[in-house]
Chains A and B, each alone.
Chain A
Amino acid sequence: MTAALPKTPAGRAVANVPAIRLEDLTLGYDRHPAVHHLSGLIAPGSLLAIVGPNGAGKSTLLRGLIGELKPLGGRIIGDLAVRGQFAYVPQKDGIDVSYPVSVFDLVAMGLWERRGLFKAFRRADTDAISHALALVGLSGFERRPVGTLSGGQLQRALFARVSLQDAPVILLDEPFSAIDNATVDDLMVLVRGWSHEGRTVVAVLHDLAVVRAHFPETLLLARQAIAWGATAEVLTQANMVRARGMTEAFDDRAPFCEVDHIGADGGHGHAPHGHEHGHSHGHDHSHNHSHDHAHHHSNHHSHDHSRDHSPAPQPSSPRSTPG
């Protein structure tokens, strides 16, 4: 078996890549859902693109996956919240480039799991950092202050840091925004390499050409899963149109969704969760009905044009949940 396992550049197999299962997951802010009733499986070793319009909840989903955001409802199974299990490149990196540190120092942060607070850097670490920099085409940049890097070079450095982290799951939030094609091509080589090593890679992307060319699996998200499955089947014209009609502004008067009814403020006389235990699985159907209803409602309020589209998206894959 071991021979069949993919190898890291260092020659080690990536072991224990977790399966990530989303069960009726709702994520959001201040009780407004940004990702609504999402169910599905991110299998170990998946190379998954998340696509969708702005405000579709793509970044929110990644933040939920790494445990930075607690679910409003449903759950995530898979130990991503455990440190060292994932590497994450956020959409807006919070790096203070005025810091007087070198590219070497920045990339060396990727070794935190192995070196932590105190352990000294060894010769092997220095070599690993140089190797990671070479992978992203930044050889010779070791001593450069981070403040002197261009946007594309900084993104390359961040990818080098990710590869040093050696994490089984890698999450990238719009890694290629404001990056030129040559850099995208270089970095995609790295992404495919991680995938070949058996790591799970999940990337939020806008460039559908890149998605079609490199990502076998796609989740089309517009708060709810419009479609989740093989990329060619997901990125259809019909699905894209439907996704465009699905994002709405938060509506402060939107009724509470029955499935993740929080607390007992019951404006609609819903019973709090504690009373629903008897049929927690059986009543999925009725929940989804009333949830759909809520959505029609706000659709008609805020987006007249949404009448033109089919208002309630149907799943195109058995993995996705009806919204």
Chain B
Amino acid sequence: MDWLVAPFAEFAFMRRALAGIFALSLAAGPLGVLLMLRRMSLTGDGMSHAILPGTAIAYALFGLSLWPMTIGGLLAGLMIALLAGTLARFTALREDATLASFYLISLALGVMIVSLGNSNVDLMHFLFGSVLALDDATLILVASISSVTLAALALLWRPLVLDGLDPGFLRTVSSSGALSYFVFMILLVLNLVAGFHALGTLLAVGFLVLPAVTARFWARDLNWMVLIAGLVAMSGGVAGLVLSYHASLPTGPAMILTMGAIFLVSVLAGPAGGLISLVRAGPHRTG
């Protein structure tokens, strides 16, 4: 027990990291599940790279400063989402192709801009974040984004779910589908920016994707899925944090790897379509 508690009792930066992980996890549960159900997990990954040039330009202009980088990332992410969507609508390319193109350009451009500053430390910060160096302002930002996300999801939960389940029907009874999708994209970018501060551009989407797909193996009901996704994000984050503290591992990758391990175990042992449950189906019922 001491092994688990001592690092937090001893170091303020560990407590901050813990708070950051809780905040990220709360929003990541429902948002990640919606992302997965809409088959947009890869879109989320692409978008997380798309925010890089915005943060990088802000960094080049203002240095490592919270608000410019946040706003820059937000603008860049929304712009790429809009560009990719628009091009997909008006040209022969599908959205996956346009988004992939834009995020590659964004990632390369971002790395280029950051590297002009000639510091590998900064580049590492951009790529992998620094969950152990969350200051008060960043923590408040992450917590605020989490709160706003939860509030918005609560308000728009019905259309968000129904728009994925049966968009044609929702269109015939309500115009809220398009609006909710738009809000959903904004929330996605917001949470990626929050994740960026903690995990960097390469792993920012980790809290969204891995817990959600893990939850799929444990629940067949949407509400349970959301709850389990949040718990997986939280426990994976904390376990990774403690692990990285004791074994002197990089924190971001340690958290994502822990979630990855939970995911792999779930693929095997999950009762809702896990491999073992498929193989050992047991005797069939009479009706």
A residues with CB within 8 A of B: 66, 68, 83-84, 86-88, 90, 93-96, 98-102, 106, 109, 112-113, 116-118, 145, 161, 165
With both beta carbons as reference points, the residue of chain B lying nearest to A145 in the complex is identified as B220
B169 within 8 A of A: yes
**CB within 8 A of B174: which of A83, A86, A88, A118?**
A83
B residues with CB within 8 A of A: 37, 155-156, 158-159, 161-162, 164-174, 176, 216, 219-222, 225
Which residues of A have CB within 8 Å of B161? 99, 101
| Most chain A CB atoms below 10 A, which of B156, B170, B174, B216 | B174
With both beta carbons as reference points, the residue of chain A lying nearest to B176 in the complex is identified as A117
With both beta carbons as reference points, the residue of chain B lying nearest to A171 in the complex is identified as B172
Which residues of A have CB within 8 Å of B167? 94
Q: Is the CB of A99 within 8 A of B172?
A: no
Q: Is the CB of A99 within 8 A of B165?
A: yes
Provide 16 A-B residue pairs closer than 8 Å at the C-beta atoms, listed in order of the A residue.
Answer: A66-B172, A83-B173, A86-B172, A94-B168, A95-B165, A98-B37, A99-B165, A100-B225, A101-B165, A106-B166, A112-B173, A116-B174, A117-B155, A117-B159, A117-B176, A165-B173
| Most chain B CB atoms below 10 A, which of A86, A100, A113, A161 | A100
With the chains together, A217 CA to B156 CA distance in Å?
43
Distance in Å: Cβ of B221 to nearest Cβ of chain A: 6
Which residues of A have CB within 8 Å of B158? 117-118
With the chains together, A93 CA to B171 CA distance in Å?
13
Which residues of B have CB within 8 Å of A88? 172
With the chains together, A99 CA to B159 CA distance in Å?
14
Q: Knowing A109-B162, A117-B159, say if A100 contacts B172 (CB, 8 Å).
A: no
Q: Is the CB of A100 within 8 A of B166?
A: no
Which residues of B have CB within 8 Å of A93? 166, 168-169
With the chains together, A84 CA to B172 CA distance in Å?
8
With the chains together, A88 CA to B166 CA distance in Å?
12
Distance in Å: Cβ of A103 to nearest Cβ of chain B: 12
> Can you list the 9 inter-chain pairs with the closest CB atoms, starting with the nearest?
A94-B168, A112-B173, A99-B165, A95-B166, A100-B222, A88-B172, A100-B220, A145-B220, A90-B168
Which residues of B have CB within 8 Å of A100? 37, 216, 219-222, 225
Q: Is the CB of B169 within 8 A of A83?
A: no
Distance in Å: Cβ of B271 to nearest Cβ of chain A: 14
**CB within 8 A of B166: which of A68, A96, A145, A165?**
A96
Which residues of A have CB within 8 Å of B37? 96, 98-100
Distance in Å: Cβ of B40 to nearest Cβ of chain A: 12
**CB within 8 A of B164: which of A66, A99, A117?**
A99
Q: Is the CB of B172 within 8 A of A96?
A: no
Q: Is the CB of A83 within 8 A of B172?
A: yes
With both beta carbons as reference points, the residue of chain B lying nearest to A158 in the complex is identified as B169
Which residues of A have CB within 8 Å of B169? 93-95, 109, 161
Q: Is the CB of A94 within 8 A of B166?
A: yes
Distance in Å: Cβ of A9 to nearest Cβ of chain B: 21
Which residues of B have CB within 8 Å of A106? 165-166
Which residues of B have CB within 8 Å of A118? 155, 158
With the chains together, A241 CA to B126 CA distance in Å?
71
**CB within 8 A of A113: which of B156, B168, B173, B219?**
B173
Distance in Å: Cβ of A246 to nearest Cβ of chain B: 29
Apart from A112-B174, A117-B174, A145-B220, 16 more pairs, CB < 8 Å: A83-B174, A94-B166, A96-B164, A99-B164, A100-B220, A100-B222, A101-B161, A106-B165, A109-B169, A109-B173, A112-B170, A112-B173, A116-B174, A117-B156, A118-B155, A161-B169
Q: Is the CB of A96 within 8 A of B165?
A: yes
Which residues of A have CB within 8 Å of B159? 117
Which residues of B have CB within 8 Å of A84? 173
